[in-house]
Structure 1
Amino acid sequence: MTRIKHFAAALALAVLAIAGTQAALITPAAAAGSCWGSDCNHYDPNTLGCGSDAYTLEKITENLVTIELRYSPSCYAAWTRFEVHSDFAFPTTVFLRGSSTTEYRNLPIYEGAKGWTAMVSFQQAVKSCMQWYNGGYYEICTPTH
């Protein structure tokens, strides 16, 4: 009877050790964001933790403004991040255009202004764009991902 108890105890410890190792491997990625795919649509990437593992897919500077197409693997979502480089930039709107959802953000026009749009699921084809007016409307976008 003692051998069976020792064997059962050893087996239980082995199972817990394996489960703990798997949980340790899964937890960091899951903790990076609290939404995934279309559940992230229309939400702020930093509020939901998606900014923690995000990286820039594309970057453009035009009209004294830089836009970046940002992507979070843990949230499977994208957004547009911007930075204004001068007080003399023309009034600009940045947006993230998805194949079925678009998120807009009007920029504050002062040097050093930074921000981002809400997210769109990466299940859609997405690109970051900006549009401004200078005697006519102009628009430029990153390549689509």
Structure 2
Amino acid sequence: MRAGAARTVRPCRPTAAPPAQADGPFVKELRDLKERTGLSLAALAARTPYSKSAWHRYLNGAQRPPGSAVEALARLAGADPAPVLALWESADRPPPEGVPSYGGDPSARPVWPAWPVRPRRLPLSALALIVVVAAVAVTLVAAGDSRTPGGRLTAASPRCRGASCQGQLPDVSSCDRDAQTKSTVRDASYAVRLEYSPSCGTAWAEVQVRPSAARVISVRSGRDVLSAAYPGDGSDGWASPMLAASSPEGVEACAQVDGKLACTGLDAQPAGER
């Protein structure tokens, strides 16, 4: 071979699978049937068309028997031939295409050469691109995760504003992300809050109560009243629809829970005293 010439290494071919595994379920069943007949190999040869040496190979798994021999052995044993014939058919199925069979012998598997793996170094241009992309991602996450002092996420741009938000729920329009609690009133079993979103220019009522309590949550400003009813079957629903408002002044939040009514305009507490 010339120096520097490419050399092709071909792995050895796997050995062919034996006709039947000596310790497989099919061969074991054959042996059990033979024991049940109580016949010797010579007696089996005398009562079937197959020789003594043939039966020896069948029962040792050295040769696959024909189906007629399997059926004859089962009938001599007084057994139903269907189960053992099913094993015989399954043992005859070839392995899936592209998957070599090794007959259950791990030593027959080919040994593939272990090629050394050399790490590749990325060029400086690729490393610089990765650094830039990571920096942009961090900047976007930081910009999108700004929070108000109350801990709510601040939306970069609300999905609606003013009159276009009227009647929508605050979480659907993302107006709740910069919501400010303007007043609150508490009952023994629940609390009602008046919430206001400066970015959306809307106000709404929220109630904190157990999920099983039936509730009607409403917000009003003058003659404008919007409300939402929740049956108390464990379903979510803690807010009224939003009311367009240039400021929270003159807006009242109410909730009727299990027949009891509480409104922030009737007995309100400043937000700092909650």
Structure 1 length as normaliser, TM-score?
0.62
Identity of aligned residues (%): 26
Partner-residue secondary structure (3-state), 1:38: helix
Choose 1 or 2 for highest CA Rg.
2
**In structure 2, how many angstroms separate the alpha carbons of the residues matched to 1:36 and 1:70?**
15
- The 8 Å contact of residues 34 and 49 in structure 1, kept in 2 or not, is answered as yes
What amino acid is aligned across from residue 185 of structure 2 in structure 1?
I
Match in the other structure for 1:118: 241
Match in the other structure for 1:139: 261
What's the RMSD between the two structures over aligned residues? 3.0
**In structure 1, how many angstroms separate the alpha carbons of the residues matched to 2:241 and 2:163?**
12
Aligned residues: 112
Which one has a larger percent helix, Structure 1 or Structure 2?
2
- The 8 Å contact of residues 203 and 242 in structure 2, kept in 1 or not, is answered as yes
Match in the other structure for 1:97: 220
Cα deviation, 1:62-105, whole Å, max 9, x if unaligned, reads 25121111100000101111121485x5x432211122321112
Cα deviation, 1:36-75, whole Å, max 9, x if unaligned, reads 2222110111111111111111111225121111100000
Match in the other structure for 1:51: 176
- Among 184, 191, 214, the residue aligned to 1:66: 191
Distance 1:143 1:30, change over 3 A: same
Q: Which runs of 5+ in 2 are unaligned?
A: 1-142, 144-153, 267-274
After superposing the two structures, state which structure 1 stretch, 49-58 or 108-117, moved more.
108-117
What amino acid is aligned across from residue 167 of structure 2 in structure 1?
H
The higher relative CO (CA closer than 8 Å, separation ≥ 6) is in: 1
TM-superposed CA distance for 1:120, in Å, is 0.1
What amino acid is aligned across from residue 49 of structure 1 in structure 2?
S
Distance 1:133 1:108, change over 3 A: closer
Q: Does 1:80 align with 2:205?
A: yes
**In structure 1, how many angstroms separate the alpha carbons of the residues matched to 2:224 and 2:178?**
23
**In structure 1, how many angstroms separate the alpha carbons of the residues matched to 2:223 and 2:246?**
10
Structure 2 length as normaliser, TM-score?
0.35
After superposing the two structures, state which structure 1 stretch, 50-59 or 63-72, moved more.
63-72
Distance 1:30 1:46, change over 3 A: closer
- The 8 Å contact of residues 155 and 174 in structure 2, kept in 1 or not, is answered as no
Match in the other structure for 2:57: none
Q: Which runs of 5+ in 1 are unaligned?
A: 1-23
- The 8 Å contact of residues 96 and 127 in structure 1, kept in 2 or not, is answered as yes
